[in-house]
Amino acid sequence: MKNGQVAKALRDIGFLTEVEDAENAQFKSRAYYRAADSIEALEQDVAGVYEKGGINALLELPGIGKAIAAKIEEYLKTGRIRHLDELKEKIPIDIGQLGAIEGVGPKTLKAIYEKLKVTDMAGLEKAALEGRLKTVPGITARKEQDILKKIEFTKKNGGRSIIGEVWPLAKKIEARLKGLEGVRHAALAGSARRMKETIGDLDYIVCASEPENVMDFFVKMPEVEEVKSRGPAKAFVRLAGGIDCDLLAVPEESWGSALLYFTGNKEHNVELRRIAIARGLRLNEWGAFENNDRRVAGASEEEVYKALGLAWIAPEMRENAGEIDLAAKGRLPSLVEYGSLRGDLQVHSDNSDGTATMEEMALAAKEFGLDYIAITDHTKSLAMAGGLDEQELLDQAQKIAELNDRLDGIRVLSSAEVNIGKDGSLDIANNVLDKLDIVGAAIHSHFGLSMEEQTARLVNAAKNPSVDIIFHPTGRLINRREGYPVDIARLTDVAKDTNTALEIDAHYNRLDLKDEYVRMAVRKGVKLTIDSDAHHPVHYAFLQFGIGQARRGWATAADVLNTMPADRLLKALK
Ligand code: DGT
Ligand code: CA
Ligand code: CA
Ligand code: ZN
């Protein structure tokens, strides 16, 4: 169903229309909101309505007039609405974030944007903390404090948590539960087990001889801020920092079915239940049962899948995106494994904006278990990040050669994160890039350009014979910025044709490419890399989130270049 997307696009137009001209556009923006509501409430798929009856059928829907029907048609045909793109270009604010702050209306947002160029929540918070917000006409010191409070509130309570931010605590709690006396199994389930990039709440399942003791322990953990409910085999708490946490205890014979159920996702579960029914079984968190209530499976996930005629499916794939069909045919891919990366191809040093020396980064990589890293400092047009020019890059490559003579058990590749210009050109000449072992290129500016222009920039970079990898291809920052618009179908085609790899940036703020784009790349045989984008020696730990994302996109080791030893990798590059 496209209804949700169409409604969102209409609502965004309504909102930006109001931001653009708060005095006069109220009537117009209301019309968009009404149309959005109407599409959302529709029972049929709006795409189906249009396919059958064309624009006239759209006009018959409540609240849809000529101008809006034309925009819906445009969206259904092209996946975008030019008018919305133009508005976004004029007022490039993050609507999801800034539009959600209570008490900050379109008129205020416009004033803030015009004076301070603030586009997102982080920027607004920074401006308020630095006392710049009250320099905006109409904003008093009191209102500034007010906005700051609302931001804190939204940050704490609103929305979903980024996986990397909750992961350490989530795993700590899992380990604690596993270590409790009388606990036979304990696991973190839900979206965290599926390695989704954002987490709504944490779900734990335990199997224990004395569930009451586990509940006691759980509600008394030091991080618990509020106990929302607590029973003999179930508890629900809120942790400091605002994330909710579910715990369920089940008997041994239901361990697998409960783990399966609470890992989800919901659509995967629904589909499994449908298959169970077709086989004369009843499936729930307690097991798979025959009509006479005899349990036929439940103790392990494998057993439950087997009862349904399916192979065990890795949690990261459980999104009802075709994986069940593959499991039925015994054709599941063998996913790239955690810990299987031999190297990391995006690492920064203090020669640009990293915090540690090349040697420190190399030694930390070795300690982490990697065989090689590429030092990918920024290049000259990214002055903010202390980008290197041609001579500095060549000097750095020389130092890397000396470093390799000195170091044992870790190899350092000379490289760069070359900045892609507005027109798709690079800021470092090819004859210099060719002296480096490997070259990554990335976009760091001009985020307001259209999809055509952004795609052309990336395609240009991919066609450059010196460029081996496109780093963080869509530029998204999870929960902060959507990324610039890219025609991924086109980019993946060009990447395939030119033997350019696309990166899964494992930094948990990016995870870019995201899962669905990874799947597209894998399907087309595009090579991927999984890189930490480390700016600090501890950042190699991010790699696990990149692997999680790769697995969510069905990638195997063969799809990921840096599962290879360095020599083979260098031969595989263009
Ligand atoms: P989240 O917490 O929003 O990041 O996403 P999940 O997937 O962790 O969802 P959550 O915590 O609401 O529930 C955990 C799992 O429990 C979910 O993935 C599937 C299962 N589940 C929850 N509600 C339903 C439901 O109404 N029907 C079915 N079949 N399964 C459900
Ligand atoms: Ca959850
Ligand atoms: Ca939950
Ligand atoms: Zn970077």
The DSSP string of 438-461 is: --EEE--S-TTS-HHHHHHHHHHH
Distances (CA, A) of 184 to 205, 211, 250, 296, 303: 11, 11, 11, 22, 18
Could you tell which of 167, 238, 265, 319 is best to mutate to test the pocket of ligand 1, judged by most ligand atoms within 8 Å of the CB?
265
Measured from the alpha carbon of residue 315, the closest ligand is 1
Ion ligand 2 — residues with CB under 5 Å?
190-191, 200-201, 203
| Residue listed under structure tokens 């030893």 | 565
How far does Cα 548 stand from its chain's mean position?
11
SS3 517: helix
Q: Determine the residue type at 316.
A: E
Residue ranges per domain, the chain? 3-157, 161-249, 255-329, 343-572
> In angstroms, what is the span from residue 320 Cα to ligand 1's centroid?
13
| pLDDT tens digits in sequence order for the chain, 574 residues long | 677 789 889 999 999 998 888 777 878 888 998 898 888 777 788 999 999 999 999 999 988 999 999 999 999 999 999 999 999 999 999 887 888 776 788 888 989 999 999 999 889 999 999 999 999 998 999 989 988 887 886 666 557 889 998 999 999 999 999 999 999 999 999 999 999 999 999 999 999 999 999 999 999 998 898 999 999 999 999 987 778 999 999 999 999 999 999 999 999 999 999 999 999 999 999 999 999 999 999 999 999 999 999 999 999 999 999 999 999 999 999 999 999 999 999 999 999 989 899 999 999 999 999 999 999 999 999 987 899 999 999 999 999 999 999 999 999 999 999 999 999 999 999 999 999 999 999 999 998 899 999 999 999 999 999 999 999 999 988 876 678 999 999 999 999 999 999 999 999 999 999 999 999 999 999 999 999 999 999 999 999 999 999 999 999 999 999 999 999 999 999 9
Q: How many CA atoms lie within 13 A of 225 on its CB side?
A: 9
SS3 555: coil
- φ, ψ of residue 22 to 5 degrees: the values are -60, -30
- Cα dihedral 119, 125, 130, 132 sign: positive
Nearest to 206 by CA among 228, 240, 181: 181
Ligand 1 pocket by C-beta < 6 Å: which residues?
A: 190-191, 199-201, 203, 261-262, 264-266, 269-270
Question: What is the rounded CA–CA span in Å between residue 57 and residue 93?
Answer: 33
Measured from the alpha carbon of residue 160, the closest ligand is 1
Class of domain 3-157: mainly alpha
Is the pTM higher than 0.75? Answer: yes
- Chosen CATH of 343-572 out of 3.20.130.10, 3.40.1260.10, 3.40.50.10300, 3.20.20.140: 3.20.20.140
SS3 232: coil
Nearest to 501 by CA among 465, 471, 531, 457: 471
Cβ-Cβ contacts under 8 Å for 133 (sequence gap 6 or more): 112, 116, 124, 127, 139, 143, 144, 147
Cβ-Cβ contacts under 8 Å for 408 (sequence gap 6 or more): none
Question: What is the rounded CA–CA span in Å between residue 118 and residue 112?
Answer: 6
- Chosen CATH of 161-249 out of 3.30.460.10, 3.40.47.10, 3.40.50.2300, 3.30.342.10: 3.30.460.10
Domain 161-249 shares a fold with domain 343-572 = no
CATH 3.40.50.920 fits 255-329, yes or no: no
Of ligand 1's listed atoms, the one at least distance from the Cα of 199 is 4
Could you tell which of 191, 195, 304 is best to mutate to test the pocket of ligand 1, judged by most ligand atoms within 8 Å of the CB?
191
